[in-house]
Amino acid sequence: MKTQYLLSILCSSALSIGSLAHAQTPANYPNKPVKMVVGFAPGGAADYVARNISDAMGKSLGQSIIVENKAGAGSSIAAEAVSKATPDGYTILIASPSSISVNPALNAKLGYTPKDLFPVTKITTSPLVVAANPNAGLNSLTELVAKAKKAPGTINYATSGNGSAPHLGAALFAQIAGIEMTHIPFRGGAPAVQSVVAGDTQITFGTPPSVLPMIQAGRLKGLGVSTKERSGLVPGIPGSAEAGFPDYAIEFWYGIFLPNGTPPAVVKKIFDAAQFAMSQASVKTALAREGTDVDVSKSPEQFAAFLNEDSKFWVKLVKSAGVKLD
C-alpha cells in the first residue's frame, strides 16, 4: 500500500475526530437496520467476529445489525462496496490488513483506496494457526519444512484468499524457512479449511475460528502458531520459537470502518456501540473460545495512528516475500 494512503486517513480522521465532541447526532439515527459487511465467506474468522458482536452493537444502537457476506478478491470486493456506500452510518465494514494495506499494495487497479474508508476502531487480534491434513504425514513445522525442501513446490497450502493475512503469513514463513510451497486461495477461511480436511490441499495457514474446531475434532493436525511463545488462545500447539523458527512472528487484526465522509457524530455512535459490544462478557468468552482476543482502540484517532504504522509491516512483507496475485 502506498504510505500516503494511510497519511490521508490520518488527516481525515484528525479533522473528523476533532469535531466529535461538538457534532450533533442526526436525531433519528439509526432509524432502520444497519448492514455489517464481511469480505469473506460464512464460517471464517471475519464472519465469526461479525456475528458475535452484531447483536451487542445492535443493542447499543437500538437497531438490528444484519451481517452480509461479500466474499472474493481477498476481501477487496467488500471494501470497495462499503467505500462507495452512502456515508450515513448504515453500512459498516469489518476489515483486516487485507483490505487496508495488502490489497492496495498488490493491485494498483483496485476500485477504492484506503482513504475512502474511515477507521473507527480495532476490535480483535489473533495469531495464525498452521494445520495439516492428518494423512499428510506432517506432525510439526520442522517436518513440513523438511518435506518442502525435499520436493519444492509440491506442498499445497490453502488460505482465505489472495492478499489475506493467512496468505501473507504463509509467505513470511516460507521466506524465513527457505522453502517453496504452492498457494491455493479460496473465498474465505471455511472453504480453505474444508479443502485440507478433504485432502485436496495438504496444509492451511488459517485463523483460529476457522481452524481450531477442526483440530479439536481430530480432522486437522495443529503444527504451530504464529506467535513466538505458545498462545493461551490456541492451547496445545507450539509457538514458533518452540517449533524451531524463532524469527517467525505475525498476528492479524479486525477493525470497523465506515465510508469516508460519515458524519462525526454517527462515527461516535458506532464507536461507542463497538466499545459496548467488546466489553460484554458473553462476547469476550465467545471470541476467546475460538482463539480470538478482544483488542479495542481508545479512539478512532488511535486506530488511525496504529494503521499508519501497521501498514508499513504489511507493505514491506508484500515486497520482501515477493507476494503476487495468483
Please say whether the dihedral angle defined by the alpha carbons of residues 147, 152, 153 and 158, taken in this order, is positive or negative.
Answer: positive
Confidence of residue 5 (pLDDT cuts 50, 70, 90): very low
Which residue intervals of the chain bear CATH 3.40.190.150? 3-125+253-320
Domain 127-225 fold is: D-Maltodextrin-Binding Protein; domain 2 (3.40.190)
Of 223 and 26, the one with more pLDDT: 223
Predicted pLDDT of residue 17? 46
Distance from C-alpha of 63 to C-alpha of 40, rounded to nearest angstrom? 24
Predicted pLDDT of residue 213? 93
CATH of domain 3-125+253-320: 3.40.190.150
In angstroms, the first-to-last Cα distance of the chain is 18
Tens of pLDDT, residue by residue over 267-326, are 999 999 999 999 999 999 999 998 999 999 999 999 999 999 999 999 999 988 888 765
In percent, the amount of the chain with pLDDT more than 90 equals 79
* Stretch among 4-18, 89-103, 188-202, 229-243 having the lowest mean pLDDT: 4-18
Confidence of residue 112 (pLDDT cuts 50, 70, 90): very high
Confidence of residue 20 (pLDDT cuts 50, 70, 90): very low
Which residue intervals of the chain bear CATH 3.40.190.10? 127-225
Amino acid making up residue 64: S
Q: What are phi and psi of 159, to 5 degrees?
A: -135, 175
Predicted pLDDT of residue 163? 83
Contact 39, 99 (CB under 8 A): yes
Predicted pLDDT of residue 92? 98
Q: Which own/partner contact pairs does 19-27 have at CB distance under 8 Å and 24+ positions apart?
A: 19/264, 20/264, 20/265, 20/267, 20/268, 23/263, 23/264, 23/265, 23/268, 24/265, 25/263, 25/265, 25/266, 25/268, 25/269, 26/263, 26/265, 26/266
Mean model confidence pLDDT for the chain: 91
* Stretch among 150-154, 185-189, 200-204 having the lowest mean pLDDT: 185-189
In percent, the amount of the chain with pLDDT more than 70 equals 91
Confidence of residue 44 (pLDDT cuts 50, 70, 90): confident
Distance from C-alpha of 147 to C-alpha of 161, rounded to nearest angstrom? 24
Q: Report which secondary-structure segment, H or E, holds 120.
A: strand 117-127
Predicted pLDDT of residue 25? 57
Confidence of residue 24 (pLDDT cuts 50, 70, 90): very low
Predicted pLDDT of residue 8? 54
